[in-house]
């Protein structure tokens, strides 16, 4: 029963069955039938005891060889199955790692949103927090509390949009500046106060540099000792950070606002090259903001004591500094929703401005 012809036949039968096994289960069944306790090879091993001497040795060697051969064939076939399973997984779970992480965003960030965020980042770094106020204001918050009495010419200059009069005859206004947020902040916050108030403002005015809706950012610092030097330092720091320059030439020009005393308009040095403005250097000047020490009447209107509390305020046109920084010529285009304009002047939505990574 262990003659070599019979073993050769068994070998051929097993090897071809192993090669033809369709899956791992079939292969396992074959392994059991050959090498398992009652398998064909194991049974023959058990029979060896009945042989004697040389015959047992020869048959033993032949059976061991067959056992090894069958074992190797099974291992090889198992490896085939593993490789095939892996190939299949690789094919079905294929990921093209060269594809972009996500589709290129179709939209862009509007220059006003970009600059708004840049301004917030800069002042946050200087310790300011962000305050807000309503777009529709009372006459008191927009004018009266800011030391602009009824007959003051500033009221005409502001080209105010009025709402229809209420029953008591008073009229609400679309706020003509962000300065009312000064009063609202004083009413709710005890000094020290350090806020900026970015937001929409409205005036009945429209040309290349004016739109009926535009954006300002108000600043207010109040405590017991803040003085004009702090105002200058603060605005210089802002201009350097905003225009991303080491030095910016600045000029503080005496001016007049009802809500500040003294009042200053701030110009930055610039030059014109081929019709393009270059900020920071040169012999020309561009006005960028209004500022001053908060008028005692304004501090009083905000419910604070001007004998104790003092500080500065400023107001900057967000759209205006956006035009200057990014060389955008016409303000009206800001609000026309022209997709070509938005794609040209817009900013990547994946790169939000911050001081560490760069503002723009
Ligand atoms: N409110 C002023 C305007 O709309 C801008 C301004 C000037 C704001 C001086 C201020 C300031 O806070 O101190 O034209």
Instruction: Check residue 100 and give left, alpha or beta (phi > 0: left; psi -120 to 50: alpha).
Output: beta
Rounded to two decimals, what is the model's pTM? Answer: 0.73
Q: What is the pLDDT of residue 174?
A: 97
Q: Whose CA is nearest to atom 13 of ligand 1?
A: 291
Tell me the two tokens of residue 296: 């005692």
Cis previous bond, 192, omega within 30: yes
Q: What is the mean pLDDT of the chain?
A: 92
Q: Which of 294, 314, 318, 321 to mutate to test the pocket of ligand 1 (most atoms within 8 A of CB)?
A: 314
Q: Whose CA is nearest to atom 4 of ligand 1?
A: 177
**Cα 163 to ligand 1 centre (Å):** 23
Please state the atom number of ligand 1 nearest to the C-alpha of residue 146.
1
Dist. CA 331–CA 309, nearest whole Å: 38
**How far is the CA of 127 from the CAs of 32, 299, 333, in angstroms?**
78, 21, 34
**Cα 70 to ligand 1 centre (Å):** 94
Please state the atom number of ligand 1 nearest to the C-alpha of residue 201.
4
User: Between β-strands 129-130 and 193-202, what pairing exists: parallel, antiparallel or unpaired?
Assistant: parallel
Strand, helix or coil at 290? strand
Dist. CA 250–CA 237, nearest whole Å: 11
Average the pLDDT over 204-226 and give the result. Answer: 94
Please state the atom number of ligand 1 nearest to the C-alpha of residue 182.
12
Q: Are 190 and 206 in contact (CB under 8 A)?
A: no
Q: Whose CA is nearest to atom 6 of ligand 1?
A: 315
Residue 37 CB partners (closer than 8 Å, separation 6+): none
**Cα 72 to ligand 1 centre (Å):** 89
Please state the atom number of ligand 1 nearest to the C-alpha of residue 312.
13
Q: What is the pLDDT of residue 208?
A: 82
Any idea of the CA torsion for 108, 112, 117, 121, to the nearest 10 degrees?
Answer: 130
**Cα 143 to ligand 1 centre (Å):** 12
**Cα 181 to ligand 1 centre (Å):** 11
Which is more confident, 66 or 217? 217
pLDDT tens-digit readout, 114-169: 999 999 999 999 999 999 999 999 999 999 999 998 888 778 777 999 999 999 99
**Dihedral sign computed on CA atoms, order 30, 31, 32, 33:** positive
**Cα 290 to ligand 1 centre (Å):** 5
Residue 273 CB partners (closer than 8 Å, separation 6+): none
> In 283-296, which positions are buried (b, 16+ CB within 10 angstroms) versus exposed (e)?
eeebebbbbbbbbb
Q: Are 252 and 278 in contact (CB under 8 A)?
A: no
Assess whether pLDDT exceeds 90 at residue 341: yes
Confidence of residue 1 (pLDDT cuts 50, 70, 90): very low
DSSP per-residue string spanning 184-211? HHHHH-PSSEEEEEEEEEE-S--BTTB-
Cis previous bond, 262, omega within 30: yes
Q: Which CATH architecture has domain 112-345?
A: 2-Layer Sandwich (3.30)
Closest by alpha carbon to 290, among 317, 310, 319?
317
Q: What is the pLDDT of residue 326?
A: 93
Q: Whose CA is nearest to atom 8 of ligand 1?
A: 315
Residue with tokens 């051969």: 69
Cα Rg of the chain (Å, integer): 42
Which residues have any ligand 1 atom within 6 Å of their CB?
Answer: 177, 179, 218, 257, 260, 290-292, 313-315
Q: What is the pLDDT of residue 204?
A: 92
pLDDT tens-digit readout, 315-332: 999 999 999 999 998 889
Number of residues in the chain:
360
Q: What residue spans define the domains of the chain? A: 4-92, 112-345
Residue with tokens 């997984």: 89
**Cα 164 to ligand 1 centre (Å):** 26
Q: Which of 123, 259, 319 to mutate to test the pocket of ligand 1 (most atoms within 8 A of CB)?
A: 259
**Cα 22 to ligand 1 centre (Å):** 85
pLDDT tens-digit readout, 154-179: 787 779 999 999 999 999 999 999 99
**Cα 291 to ligand 1 centre (Å):** 6
């Amino acid at each position: 029963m262990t003659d070599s012809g019979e073993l050769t036949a068994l070998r051929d039968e097993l090897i071809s069955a192993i090669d033809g096994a369709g899956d791992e289960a079939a292969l396992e069944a074959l392994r059991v039938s050959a090498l398992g306790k009652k398998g064909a090879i194991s049974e023959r091993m058990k029979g060896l005891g009945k042989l004697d001497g040389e015959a047992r040795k020869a048959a033993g060697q032949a059976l061991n060889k067959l056992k090894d051969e069958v074992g190797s064939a099974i291992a090889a076939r198992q490896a085939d199955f593993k490789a095939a399973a892996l190939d299949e997984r690789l094919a079905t779970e294929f990921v093209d790692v060269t594809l972009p992480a996500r589709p290129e965003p179709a939209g862009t960030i509007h220059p006003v949103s970009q600059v708004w965020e840049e301004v917030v980042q800069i002042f946050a770094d200087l310790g300011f927090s962000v305050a807000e106020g309503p777009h529709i204001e009372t006459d008191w918050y927009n004018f009266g509390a800011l030391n602009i009495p009824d007959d003051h010419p500033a009221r005409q200059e502001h080209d105010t949009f009025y709402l229809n009069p209420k029953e008591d005859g008073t009229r609400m206004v679309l706020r003509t500046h962000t300065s009312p947020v000064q009063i609202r902040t004083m009413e709710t916050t005890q000094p020290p106060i350090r806020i900026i108030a970015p937001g929409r403002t409205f005036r009945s005015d429209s040309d290349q540099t004016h739109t009926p809706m535009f954006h300002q950012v108000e600043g207010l610092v109040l405590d017991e000792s803040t003085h004009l030097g702090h105002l200058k330092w603060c605005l210089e720091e802002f201009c350097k950070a905003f225009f991303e320059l080491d030095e910016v030439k600045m000029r503080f020009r005496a001016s007049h606002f009802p809500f500040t005393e003294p009042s200053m308009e701030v110009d930055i040095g610039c030059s014109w090259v081929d019709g393009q403005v270059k900020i920071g250097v040169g012999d020309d000047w561009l006005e960028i903001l209004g500022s001053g020490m908060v008028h005692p009447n304004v501090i009083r209107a905000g419910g604070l004591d001007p004998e104790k509390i003092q500080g500065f305020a400023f107001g900057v046109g967000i759209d205006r500094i956006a035009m200057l920084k990014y060389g955008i010529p016409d303000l009206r285009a800001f609000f026309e929703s022209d997709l070509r304009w938005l794609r040209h002047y817009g900013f990547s939505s994946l790169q939000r401005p911050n001081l560490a990574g760069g503002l723009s």
